[in-house]
Amino acid sequence: MYAVIQTGGKQYRVQQGDIIYVEKLDAQDGAEVNFDVLMLGKGDDGVVIGAPVVAGACVQGKVLGVVKGAKVVVYKYKAKKNERKKQGHRQPHSKVEITSITG
């Protein structure tokens, strides 16, 4: 069984036991989080598509911690003005383990 969930403006296809990195959640390490299900795949029985979510379906996960993503370099430059600015950014992500899919 698999599910498609949405969090942080992105959609993820998950199964039980998967570890995913999502936009930082407002939850402590070890906390349980619930996600709404957009689509539920039941193997040979086909799929159930929600409008917008599948009624009665839920994906539970456990927050394992907060990690930082890869560094993105922002370089601003103005020609002929000797104006240069280099800046780096690392986006925080929450590491979540999918514990169960119900529905």
0.85 exceeded by pTM:
no
Separation between Cα atoms, residue 23 and residue 52, nearest integer Å = 21
The model's pLDDT over 1-20, given as tens digits with 9 standing for 90+, comes to 999 999 999 999 999 999 99
Give the per-residue pLDDT at 46: 87
User: So where are the chain's domains?
Assistant: 2-102
pLDDT at 85 over 90: yes
pLDDT digits (tens, 9 = 90+) for 51-82: 899 999 999 999 999 999 999 999 999 999 99
Separation CA 61–CA 4 (nearest Å): 13
- 16-35 pLDDT, tens digit per residue, is 999 999 999 999 999 999 99
